[in-house]
Amino acid sequence: MKIKNNVNSGFKGKLEDFNDLQPVGFKAPYHSEITKKSILERGFVQPFAMCEINGELFICDGHLRKDLIYELINDGHQVPEEFSYYLINVDNDRKKAIDILFSFNTKTNPIDLEVLTEWVNIEQVEVEVTSLNVVDIKDISDSDEFGTDFSLPDGDKAPFQQMTFTLADEQAEQIKNAIADIKATEEYKYCETLGNENSNGNALYLIIMQWAEQRK
């Protein structure tokens, strides 16, 4: 059997051209602060894994890095105009691309059971769940980071909730932009967090509170 080389390397592209293949809320924020610190200390040392579908680039591996780059920009850091990536040949097949995405998400990455179930139904794909670290996020205390030995809380449920939504690509992009914009304001610095350490959740809460105030 001749095994094909499906990887083409040496590409660079703008972050806004890197489309998300997986849905919002697919994975728990896993080692996000550690990854962010690594980027600050070492720079960008790992290329994105991309595939091309109908002329557009989609991320197979690197969704967390993309989110963190936007966070770094909002924090006032300068980042490159273009980022390195290698291209995985999927023969313009979205299902093949999703299968490759799953191959990057092994036991180390906590995947939300509810989001996974909804996504595979929408995409009409099959997945070997035993090869993944699938968890019910609703039963886990919400935070910006999970350690490698996180566990379900004992006793009373923590006063936090994780919510997931299904959005059109354009809707998701608008929400991401709104969250990024609000994080850059003075109001966000002094936003009431109620003990929540999730920056995106706090930003969304502030947007809703401002909207509610305008409705009065």
- Would you say the C-alpha torsion 104, 106, 108, 109 has a positive or negative sign? positive
Report whether 22 contacts 101 (CB < 8 A): yes
169-188 residue pLDDT tens: 888 888 888 888 888 888 88
| pLDDT value of residue 57 | 95
Instruction: pLDDT band for 203, please (50, 70, 90 cuts).
Output: confident
Would you give the DSSP letter of residue 158?
A: P
| pLDDT value of residue 109 | 64
Report whether 106 contacts 133 (CB < 8 A): yes
Dist CA 106 CA 127 (whole Å): 12
| pLDDT value of residue 141 | 43
Least Cα distance to 123 among 213, 52, 199, 21 occurs for 21
92-130 residue pLDDT tens: 999 999 989 988 876 566 777 777 788 788 888 877 766
Instruction: Look over the chain and give the mean of its residue pLDDT values, rounded to a whole number.
Output: 80
Instruction: pLDDT band for 138, please (50, 70, 90 cuts).
Output: low
Fold category of 7-155 in CATH: 3.90.1530
Tell me the mean pLDDT in the region 147-164: 51
Domain boundaries in the chain?
7-155, 167-216
Least Cα distance to 203 among 214, 184, 212 occurs for 184
Dist CA 52 CA 103 (whole Å): 17
Least Cα distance to 127 among 110, 145, 102 occurs for 102
